[in-house]
């Protein structure tokens, strides 16, 4: 999951570079790939939750499970919001020009969510 999320930051950065160069086709391609990777991360989180639920590891099982679901769920919700903002941006750029600050702001948000994942993963998977 970490590789997927880091990969999505790389693809978004590639898209930002294409946007700055005026290559909207290239921007849309990299943006679409970032969306796919973000949604894949979200899907893997849902798959993990289903697998853990089958083993009766639920949010209220113990204090660790509560912390686990709180941290990973909060992060996953931010990934979903970022991916949906990319979808909105993809639709907008397909209809015409968009402001460069939309692209920059979405990128800052996405990279921040990516960096936060390292904290989340280290706390819930490595401890």
pLDDT class for 126, splitting at 50, 70, 90? Answer: confident
Q: What is the pLDDT of residues 59-68, one digit of tens each?
A: 999 999 999 9
Asked whether 5 and 44 are in contact (CB, 8 A), the reply is no
CA distances from 37 to 13, 25, 76, 98 (A): 13, 19, 13, 23
3-state SS record for 58-73: CCCCCHHHHHHHHHHH
List, for residues 5-41, the tens digit of each pLDDT value: 999 999 999 999 999 999 999 999 999 999 999 999 9
CATH topology of domain 2-124: 1.20.120
If DSSP codes are grouped into helix, strand and coil, which group holds residue 58?
A: coil
Written as six digits, the tokens of 78 are: 């931010």
Provide the residue ranges of all domains of the chain, joining segments of one domain with +: 2-124
Closest alpha carbon to 110 in 83, 87, 92:
83
What pTM was estimated for this model as a whole? Answer: 0.94
């Amino acid at each position: 999951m970490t590789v997927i999320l880091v990969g999505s930051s790389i693809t978004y950065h590639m898209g930002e570079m294409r946007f700055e160069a005026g290559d909207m086709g290239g921007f849309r391609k990299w943006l679409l790939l970032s969306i796919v990777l973000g949604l894949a991360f979200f899907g893997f989180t849902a798959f993990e939750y289903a697998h853990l639920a089958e083993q009766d590891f639920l949010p209220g099982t113990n204090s660790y499970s509560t912390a686990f679901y709180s941290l990973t769920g909060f992060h996953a919700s931010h990934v979903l919001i970022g991916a949906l903002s990319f979808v909105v941006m993809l639709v907008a750029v397909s209809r015409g020009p968009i402001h460069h600050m939309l692209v920059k702001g979405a990128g800052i948000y996405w990279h921040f969510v990516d960096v936060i994942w390292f904290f989340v993963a280290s706390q819930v998977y490595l401890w």
